[in-house]
Amino acid sequence: MTGKRSPREVLAASRRKDSRDKRARVLAVVDQIAARGDAVTFAAVAKEAGVSNWLVYAEGVREHIEAARKKQAGQPRRETQSGLSSSAASLRTDLELSKQQVAALRGERDRLKAALQRQLGQQLDQVGSADLVARVEELTRQHEVLTAERDTLRREKAGLEERLAESEEDLAAARSSLRRMIRAENAGPSPA
Protein backbone atom coordinates (compact mmCIF):
# COMPACT_ATOMS: atom_id res chain seq x y z
CA MET A 1 0.00 0.00 0.00
CA THR A 2 2.90 2.20 0.06
CA GLY A 3 3.24 3.94 -3.21
CA LYS A 4 6.28 5.51 -4.60
CA ARG A 5 7.23 8.64 -2.66
CA SER A 6 8.41 11.79 -4.32
CA PRO A 7 11.91 13.13 -3.65
CA ARG A 8 10.34 15.95 -1.71
CA GLU A 9 8.60 13.53 0.62
CA VAL A 10 11.79 11.50 1.05
CA LEU A 11 13.76 14.65 1.92
CA ALA A 12 11.12 15.82 4.40
CA ALA A 13 11.03 12.40 6.08
CA SER A 14 14.84 12.39 6.27
CA ARG A 15 14.87 15.83 7.88
CA ARG A 16 12.23 14.80 10.43
CA LYS A 17 14.23 11.68 11.31
CA ASP A 18 17.46 13.74 11.62
CA SER A 19 15.70 16.27 13.86
CA ARG A 20 14.29 13.47 16.08
CA ASP A 21 17.77 11.90 16.34
CA LYS A 22 19.42 15.21 17.29
CA ARG A 23 16.75 16.01 19.87
CA ALA A 24 17.08 12.52 21.35
CA ARG A 25 20.88 12.97 21.48
CA VAL A 26 20.48 16.36 23.24
CA LEU A 27 18.10 14.90 25.83
CA ALA A 28 20.51 12.01 26.46
CA VAL A 29 23.42 14.44 26.88
CA VAL A 30 21.41 16.52 29.38
CA ASP A 31 20.81 13.36 31.44
CA GLN A 32 24.49 12.37 31.22
CA ILE A 33 25.73 15.81 32.33
CA ALA A 34 23.27 15.85 35.24
CA ALA A 35 24.30 12.30 36.25
CA ARG A 36 27.98 13.32 36.31
CA GLY A 37 27.11 16.24 38.57
CA ASP A 38 28.46 18.82 36.12
CA ALA A 39 26.60 22.08 35.64
CA VAL A 40 23.90 21.77 32.99
CA THR A 41 24.19 24.78 30.69
CA PHE A 42 22.82 25.39 27.22
CA ALA A 43 26.32 25.87 25.78
CA ALA A 44 27.72 22.73 27.45
CA VAL A 45 24.81 20.62 26.16
CA ALA A 46 25.15 22.00 22.62
CA LYS A 47 28.88 21.38 22.58
CA GLU A 48 28.75 17.87 23.99
CA ALA A 49 25.82 16.82 21.77
CA GLY A 50 27.45 18.35 18.69
CA VAL A 51 24.42 20.42 17.77
CA SER A 52 23.80 24.10 17.17
CA ASN A 53 22.95 26.50 19.97
CA TRP A 54 19.64 27.14 18.23
CA LEU A 55 18.51 23.55 18.79
CA VAL A 56 19.10 23.59 22.57
CA TYR A 57 16.81 26.62 22.82
CA ALA A 58 14.13 25.07 20.60
CA GLU A 59 10.73 24.20 22.06
CA GLY A 60 10.67 20.76 23.63
CA VAL A 61 14.43 20.76 24.27
CA ARG A 62 14.72 24.02 26.19
CA GLU A 63 12.17 22.88 28.75
CA HIS A 64 14.10 19.65 29.42
CA ILE A 65 17.36 21.60 29.98
CA GLU A 66 15.64 24.15 32.24
CA ALA A 67 14.09 21.34 34.30
CA ALA A 68 17.54 19.75 34.76
CA ARG A 69 18.99 23.13 35.78
CA LYS A 70 16.22 23.68 38.36
CA LYS A 71 16.75 20.20 39.74
CA GLN A 72 20.50 20.88 40.08
CA ALA A 73 19.86 24.22 41.80
CA GLY A 74 17.93 22.44 44.56
CA GLN A 75 20.71 19.91 45.22
CA PRO A 76 24.07 20.53 46.87
CA ARG A 77 26.91 20.69 44.39
CA ARG A 78 28.89 17.51 43.89
CA GLU A 79 32.10 19.49 44.28
CA THR A 80 31.15 20.54 47.81
CA GLN A 81 30.07 17.02 48.68
CA SER A 82 33.33 15.49 47.50
CA GLY A 83 35.51 18.25 48.99
CA LEU A 84 36.58 19.76 45.68
CA SER A 85 35.46 23.27 46.61
CA SER A 86 36.00 25.24 49.79
CA SER A 87 33.31 25.99 52.31
CA ALA A 88 32.74 29.49 53.67
CA ALA A 89 34.38 28.54 56.99
CA SER A 90 37.40 27.18 55.14
CA LEU A 91 37.71 30.38 53.12
CA ARG A 92 37.46 32.49 56.30
CA THR A 93 40.21 30.40 57.89
CA ASP A 94 42.41 30.82 54.81
CA LEU A 95 41.80 34.57 54.88
CA GLU A 96 42.70 34.80 58.56
CA LEU A 97 45.89 32.77 58.00
CA SER A 98 46.80 35.03 55.09
CA LYS A 99 46.29 38.12 57.25
CA GLN A 100 48.54 36.67 59.94
CA GLN A 101 51.20 35.82 57.36
CA VAL A 102 51.06 39.36 55.93
CA ALA A 103 51.42 40.82 59.44
CA ALA A 104 54.43 38.57 60.12
CA LEU A 105 56.05 39.58 56.82
CA ARG A 106 55.50 43.27 57.58
CA GLY A 107 57.11 42.80 61.00
CA GLU A 108 60.09 41.04 59.43
CA ARG A 109 60.42 43.84 56.86
CA ASP A 110 60.41 46.46 59.62
CA ARG A 111 63.07 44.55 61.62
CA LEU A 112 65.29 44.23 58.55
CA LYS A 113 64.85 47.92 57.75
CA ALA A 114 65.85 48.91 61.30
CA ALA A 115 68.88 46.59 61.20
CA LEU A 116 70.01 48.13 57.92
CA GLN A 117 69.64 51.64 59.34
CA ARG A 118 71.74 50.67 62.37
CA GLN A 119 74.40 49.14 60.13
CA LEU A 120 74.60 52.28 57.98
CA GLY A 121 74.83 54.41 61.11
CA GLN A 122 77.73 52.29 62.37
CA GLN A 123 79.52 52.65 59.05
CA LEU A 124 79.15 56.42 59.26
CA ASP A 125 80.45 56.38 62.84
CA GLN A 126 83.47 54.35 61.76
CA VAL A 127 84.60 57.11 59.43
CA GLY A 128 87.19 58.61 61.75
CA SER A 129 87.09 62.22 62.82
CA ALA A 130 90.75 62.51 61.71
CA ASP A 131 89.64 61.73 58.15
CA LEU A 132 86.97 64.40 58.40
CA VAL A 133 89.41 67.00 59.76
CA ALA A 134 91.88 66.22 56.95
CA ARG A 135 89.12 66.59 54.38
CA VAL A 136 88.01 69.93 55.85
CA GLU A 137 91.62 71.21 55.78
CA GLU A 138 92.02 70.09 52.16
CA LEU A 139 88.80 71.85 51.17
CA THR A 140 89.91 74.99 53.03
CA ARG A 141 93.23 75.04 51.12
CA GLN A 142 91.41 74.58 47.81
CA HIS A 143 89.09 77.45 48.74
CA GLU A 144 92.03 79.76 49.50
CA VAL A 145 93.75 78.88 46.18
CA LEU A 146 90.55 79.46 44.21
CA THR A 147 89.89 82.74 46.02
CA ALA A 148 93.41 83.97 45.18
CA GLU A 149 92.95 82.99 41.52
CA ARG A 150 89.63 84.81 41.44
CA ASP A 151 91.16 87.99 42.89
CA THR A 152 94.03 87.87 40.37
CA LEU A 153 91.59 87.45 37.49
CA ARG A 154 89.50 90.37 38.73
CA ARG A 155 92.59 92.62 38.82
CA GLU A 156 93.59 91.54 35.30
CA LYS A 157 90.05 92.23 34.12
CA ALA A 158 90.09 95.71 35.66
CA GLY A 159 93.44 96.44 33.98
CA LEU A 160 92.14 95.24 30.62
CA GLU A 161 88.97 97.30 30.96
CA GLU A 162 91.09 100.39 31.74
CA ARG A 163 93.32 99.78 28.70
CA LEU A 164 90.21 99.27 26.56
CA ALA A 165 88.75 102.57 27.73
CA GLU A 166 92.05 104.36 26.90
CA SER A 167 92.15 102.70 23.48
CA GLU A 168 88.56 103.76 22.80
CA GLU A 169 89.45 107.38 23.76
CA ASP A 170 92.53 107.30 21.48
CA LEU A 171 90.43 105.89 18.65
CA ALA A 172 87.77 108.56 19.11
CA ALA A 173 90.48 111.29 19.08
CA ALA A 174 92.08 109.81 15.97
CA ARG A 175 88.71 109.73 14.18
CA SER A 176 88.00 113.32 15.13
CA SER A 177 91.45 114.43 13.90
CA LEU A 178 90.98 112.49 10.66
CA ARG A 179 87.61 114.14 10.04
CA ARG A 180 89.16 117.61 10.49
CA MET A 181 91.97 116.74 8.11
CA ILE A 182 89.50 115.44 5.49
CA ARG A 183 87.39 118.59 5.79
CA ALA A 184 90.43 120.79 5.50
CA GLU A 185 91.65 118.88 2.45
CA ASN A 186 88.23 119.06 0.79
CA ALA A 187 87.94 122.76 1.48
CA GLY A 188 91.03 123.36 -0.60
CA PRO A 189 93.82 125.91 -0.01
CA SER A 190 92.73 128.87 1.89
CA PRO A 191 92.83 132.24 0.00
CA ALA A 192 95.67 134.37 1.14
Give pLDDT tens digits for 31-73: 998 888 888 899 999 999 898 888 889 888 889 899 989 888 8
| 1 located within any domain | no
Q: For Cα atoms 42, 46, 48, give the angle at the middle one, nearest 5 degrees.
A: 115
In a domain, 169, yes or no: yes
Final residue of a structural domain among 59, 76, 93: 76
Distance of alpha carbon 60 from alpha carbon 38, whole angstroms: 22
pLDDT (tens digit per residue) in 85-104? 677 788 888 889 899 999 99
Q: 121 lies in a domain?
A: no
Q: Which residues contact 52 (CB under 8 A, 6 or more apart)?
A: 46
Number of domains in the chain: 2
124 within some domain: no
- pLDDT tens per residue, range 120-167: 888 777 766 777 788 889 999 999 999 999 999 999 999 999 999 999
Question: Looking at the domain assignment, is residue 96 inside a domain?
Answer: no
Q: Which domain holds residue 20?
A: 16-76
For residue 59, what are the CA distances in angstroms to 23, 24, 64, 111?
10, 13, 9, 69
- Assigned domain for 113 exists: no
How far is C-alpha 10 from the geometric centre of its chain's CA atoms?
64
Residue 82 belongs to a domain: no
Last residue of a domain, one of 76, 102, 120: 76
pLDDT at site 73 = 80
Whether 90 is covered by a domain: the verdict is no
pLDDT the model gives residue 83: 57
- The 10s digit of each residue's pLDDT in 156-181 is 999 999 999 999 999 999 999 999 99
